[in-house]
A and B are shown apart, each in its own frame.
Chain A
């Protein structure tokens, strides 16, 4: 009921306003993902999420008519637990654009900028103090597939140094104002929780999982 209402609300909102407010919608089985809700992986193992935080940057919008690219090189912080972070670019006329490309994460220059303000604030829980840099994507939760007593999983995917640079360029068509992030696909195809359930630093596994993220956005 809650999900249906949410989808109705989104549709209603879109019909009223096709301008601005690009929104990120994490999904599971084509429905908006909810924290602490229990889902099934392959109709077998349970999974629930406690944290989903993402950095987006370097947005480039392609104009439908002229093909001109409008670049917005800002850092966007998304936190599923904080609805104020779910939508952005309020003043943009999205109906003018055919597609958008963006970076999931931060490039090396943003990682080492020493900015620390606004979206860079370490209080957001995405800053690695020991290794100057930021987590691109933080996903945490529990799953019966994790073969430990706590069944917890933690994915802190980040790193900007070769050979484990994890920021990903993603391009999607702009059919509406929503960017959908399919976590069911991520946990069904990219992440095998039986083998890999804790990544807390830049490494080969973080790199490999990050490479599959593009296919999870549409």
Chain B
């Protein structure tokens, strides 16, 4: 065999091997032990590592906003549990300010309803809302498709991952979902204690806090997600400037006035400020809010009315200590979820 032929065969072999190895990188999504099956329809968007990387790059790229100034990550920062700190409510292009506090993103494959008002019913469709919302990215979808198509990097990436030269919104949102599906948080101290990991135990204060949590909080903030696909009134009065009536905006039903999503408490220590409009900045004050409620208010959620949160000052500290055990630093600093660009 001629040496040039041998070199060519070697090159071909290494290329195939490299391609195979690249394809073999697993998607970061996994099914945690003892968790229910996800609600997300994976058949419509099978897990694919390259699509995950594309979604990750898009998540961090301001190309999605009209003036290329705001990315998904502008309001969903990893080190704050993919929530938005610094501001009560999220802000968009041209300094516009929205009505709501950007919620943290975690364990989305198990959610049925999205946004504080539940207006979005599946993860794929969710991304269209902030991209097109006038107070967020304010980007027309047809313009965005044109922009992605004109980008040599993204047109090549969509061709490689979805096999298309005609980028459509469903390609975009599926790529973004490939990334957000991977945002699983289940490695907190709470999880480690629950799984009986060696040497990890709750402190006495955390144990007391867990009992209080189970007595007063878990009927709405249900483990293992510490959230629920439900809408409740937590007694916050309407903000006279924002005039956000929550779930009623979607259903048009007066009975849904001032009902808002029950958010996850995972990583709650880092996802301040709190509540749908970010009006409470400290977690200890959120707990205090529940102890000061007018429990005769008929609009309050039935769980709160049935079981008023009565906590002494020390008990409030105990509950706070437990809530901090829901912090998952391996999630907050996971290299796989950090800023990335498409190569």
Contacts and interface: CB of A to CB of B under 8 A. Distances in A.
Contacts, number: 54
Interface string B244-261: 000000111000000000
29 contacts: A112-B122, A113-B122, A114-B41, A114-B121, A114-B123, A115-B170, A116-B170, A116-B173, A117-B168, A117-B170, A120-B170, A121-B170, A123-B145, A129-B120, A129-B125, A129-B129, A129-B131, A129-B132, A129-B133, A130-B129, A131-B119, A131-B250, A132-B119, A132-B121, A132-B122, A132-B125, A161-B252, A164-B252, A202-B252
Contacts of A161: 251-252
A161 to B, nearest CB: 6
Interface of B: 41, 44, 119-125, 128-129, 131-133, 141-142, 145, 168-170, 173, 250-252
A67 interface: no
Nearest to A159: B252
A7 B204 CA distance: 85
B174 to A, nearest CB: 8
A123 B121 contact: no
What's the dominant secondary structure at chain A's contact region? loop
B252 A203 contact: yes
A34 B128 CA distance: 32
What's the dominant secondary structure at chain B's contact region? helix
A127 interface: yes
A122 B252 contact: no
Contacts of B142: 123
B133 A130 contact: yes
A121 B119 contact: no
Contacts of A202: 252
Contacts of A112: 121-122
Interface string A117-145: 10011110001011110000000000000
A79 to B, nearest CB: 14
A36 B141 CA distance: 26
Interface of A: 112-117, 120-123, 127, 129-132, 161, 164, 202-203
Contacts of A121: 168-170
Contacts of A127: 128
A113 B169 CA distance: 15
A114 B250 contact: no
B35 to A, nearest CB: 22
A123 B122 contact: no
Contacts of B133: 129-130
A127 to B, nearest CB: 7
Given A112-B122, A116-B170, A131-B250, 13 more contacts: A112-B121, A114-B124, A115-B44, A116-B173, A117-B168, A120-B170, A121-B169, A122-B128, A122-B169, A123-B142, A131-B119, A161-B251, A202-B252
B121 A116 contact: no
Contact of B124 (A116, A131, A164, A203): A116
8 nearest interchain CB pairs? A114-B122, A116-B170, A132-B121, A129-B128, A112-B121, A129-B129, A114-B124, A117-B170
A92 B51 CA distance: 39
Given A123-B145, A132-B119, A116 B169 contact: yes
Contacts of B119: 130-132
Nearest to A114: B122
A114 B121 CA distance: 8
Contacts of B250: 131
Contacts of B44: 114-115
B124 A132 contact: no
A123 B169 contact: yes
Nearest to A204: B252
A123 B142 CA distance: 6
Contacts of B124: 114, 116
B231 to A, nearest CB: 14
A123 B145 CA distance: 9
Most A CB contacts (10 A, CB to CB) among B119, B129, B170 go to B170
A117 B173 CA distance: 11
A187 B142 CA distance: 31
A162 to B, nearest CB: 9
Contacts of A203: 252
Contacts of B170: 115-117, 120-121
A129 B124 CA distance: 11
A73 B123 CA distance: 24
A24 to B, nearest CB: 24
A57 B43 CA distance: 23
A129 B132 CA distance: 8
Contacts of A114: 41, 44, 121-125
Contacts of A123: 141-142, 145, 168-169
B99 to A, nearest CB: 12
A112 B44 CA distance: 14
